[in-house]
Amino acid sequence: MQQASSGRPLPDLLADAGIDAAAAAAHAPVSISAIDFHSLAVIPGSLFVAITGLRSDGHGFCRDAVARGAVAVVAERMPDPPVDASIPVVLVPDSRRALSALADAFAAHPSASLCVAGITGTDGKTTTATLLWHAWRAAGIAAASITTVDRRTPDGVTTNPSRQTTPEAPELQTELARIRDLGCTHVALETSSHGLEMHRADDVAFRAGVFTRITAEHLELHGTREGYLAAKARLLECVSPRADGIAVLDAGDPFGFPRLSAIPVATRLTYTDDGHVRADLHARDVVPSPAGVRFTAETPWGTAPIALRLAGSFNVRNALAALACACLTGCDLATAVRGLEAAEVVTGRMERVDLGQSFEVVVDYAHTADALETVLRELRRTTDGRLWAVFGSAGERDVEKRAAMGAVAARLADVSVITDEDPRDEDRRSILEQIAGGAVAAGGRRGESVLVIPDREEAIAYAVAHAAPGDTVLCAGKGHEKTLETAAGALPWNERAVATAAVRRRIS
């Protein structure tokens, strides 16, 4: 819900949002005090926007919304069942686009007075956004960030209350207005393919588009890898018309870079950690360790050694992306580097569980085949013994990645423990068997190097209990998430706490 302390006349709001108000003109003017798209959230004075969701169609709930106090409706077609004739119904070609424009207008266009950097890609978005926030803060810039994990302002850090990376338009615009009213000037906004496809960020005045590497995800929504990339490209298409627009691109991305680099933008910088790829920012002398990674950054502003407190050499690319954007939006190189080096471990991203045990336990959000491969390759470099992978694949999501994840784990881990990761209303055993099938097809041995333990807490406990000195146990896929989505509903979950408890039992 998006709510204001005082109402706003419907015709004024529609005009401010660029929506034809002719359909409402014949009705008595009404005052809008809130915008809702969930009928159950409607309060008296609401404007109800009927959108078609993945599970239900809001057009069927217009009468319910009116019964709860909605004083006007925006929809793509006349509601069925119909609403009272006294209720203005404004017809629009696309309710989701209208919702974005209305939410922006209702919040008085907050992003127009902010430097908003959208960060998108398949993996590394949260880390890159957080690093950018730290760089801005080191420069004394009043900065905020909105990510999958948390929300940051100069006043502090709060946990993201939902699973959404990019909030729905009313919540997003309300948050941007709050950030503006706090006196912030810069915002790092993690921008998901869902958020772009569903038009949640259509009316955000992005100044910069920062892209991490793009592989493939959420094909249940986008259909194809090309459709997924097209959704990501929308971010840069938002930036393109600006005279001060900025693009930060991974020059080593074989899939995303060719298309993204063809989109015109005022200022474009590229980055890479590959010595064979030409780019504006380069990393050399990369030295990873379990506690972090060191490297030297060669940039248009000079050369600087950087010591990140984030483990994983893949974080070098994330740091270069953040560094490029920071230096184009108000930071000098030395200050930006100081900010990057101050960044703490991001919750659920290569997060170590260390109670003094003789083996490593790492919690990471890797939930795609490419991300799992990246993390396993990284951990292999610092693992003397066996590498364990405890992971699953979400129900009601991209089916194709299940076997692919199993194959990756079979090739790169010594033991794959396949377990639940948000099965939702799908048959959990069916999901796990699809993953296991991919693992076995790639050479894994069922019952030896490929184990299926549906209960996730039991799976983590098994791997920790059987880890030998020098081993590494990777708990992948849940990261920071606070619930486990099952057919019985959302169950409380804390991956780090579960892994910590398993380690404590092992060493007690």
**Rounded Cα gap, residues 388 and 386, in angstroms:** 6
- Mean pLDDT along residues 8-36: 82
Task: Tell me if the bond preceding 81 is cis, omega within 30° of 0.
Answer: yes
Give dist(CA 241, CA 264) in Å, integer. Answer: 8
Does residue 29 surpass a pLDDT of 90? no
Rounded Cα distance, 297 and 323, in Å: 9
Task: Flag whether pLDDT at 473 surpasses 80.
Answer: yes
Residue 24: per-residue pLDDT:
53
Share of the chain above pLDDT 90, in %: 78
Residue pair 300/326 in contact by the 8 Å Cβ criterion: no
Largest CA distance in the chain: 77
Give me the sign of the Cα torsion angle 341, 342, 346, 351.
positive
Q: What are the backbone dihedrals phi and psi of residue 299, each rounded to the nearest 5 degrees, phi first?
A: -135, 170
Say how far apart CA 345 and CA 142 lie, in whole Å. Answer: 22
Angle at the Cα of 178 from the Cα atoms of 8 and 133, rounded to 5 degrees? 150
The values of phi and psi at residue 178, to 5°, are -60, -45
Place of tokens 């398949």: 122
Q: What single-letter DSSP state applies at residue 29? A: P
| pLDDT value, residue 508 | 85
What DSSP character marks residue 278? -
Tell me the domains of the chain and their CATH numbers: 2-106 (3.40.1390.10), 110-342 (3.40.1190.10), 351-507 (3.90.190.20)
**Is 240 in contact with 265 (CB distance < 8 Å)?**
yes
Question: How does pLDDT run across 271-298, given as a tens digit for each residue?
Answer: 999 999 999 999 999 999 888 999 999 9
Beta-strand relationship, 351-352 and 302-308:
unpaired
Using CB atoms within 10 Å of the CB of residue 437, give its burial: 0 to 12 exposed, 13 to 18 middle, 19+ buried: middle
d(CA 503, CA 385) in angstroms, rounded, equals 17
Mean of pLDDT over the chain: 93
**244, two tokens:** 């001060």
Confidence at residue 359, expressed as pLDDT on a 0 to 100 scale: 96
Q: Judge whether residue 23 has pLDDT over 70.
A: no
Task: Cite the DSSP H helix spans in 81-181.
Answer: 95-106, 125-138, 169-181
Q: Pick the closest to residue 462 from 423, 392, 415 (CA basis).
A: 415
% of the chain surpassing 70 pLDDT: 96
Q: What is the mean pLDDT of residues 214-220?
A: 69
Contact between 158 and 150 under an 8 Å Cβ cutoff? The reply is: yes
Q: Which long-range contacts (CB under 8 A, 24 or more apart) does 178-182 make?
A: 179/110, 179/114, 179/144, 179/153, 180/110, 180/113, 180/114, 182/142, 182/144, 182/153, 182/154, 182/155
Q: How far apart are CA 359 and CA 473, in angstroms?
A: 8
Half-sphere exposure of 127 (CA within 13 A, CB side): 33
Lowest mean pLDDT among 59-73, 114-128, 155-169: 155-169
Q: Is 241 helix (H, G, I), strand (E, B) or coil?
A: coil
Using an 8 Å Cβ cutoff, are 103 and 167 in contact? no
- Alpha carbon distances (Å) from 481 to 423, 492, 502: 14, 9, 18
Whole-structure pTM value: 0.87
Please check the confidence at residue 317 and state whether its pLDDT lies above 70.
yes
Span 380-409, pLDDT tens digits:
988 999 999 999 999 988 888 999 999 999
Q: Are 160 and 129 in contact (CB under 8 A)?
A: no
Distance CA 268, CA 324 (A): 10
CB 122 within 8 A of CB 217: yes
Confidence band for 343, pLDDT divided at 50, 70 and 90: very high
Which of 49, 162, 149, 94 is closest to 349 using CA atoms?
149
- Average pLDDT, stretch 466-481? 95
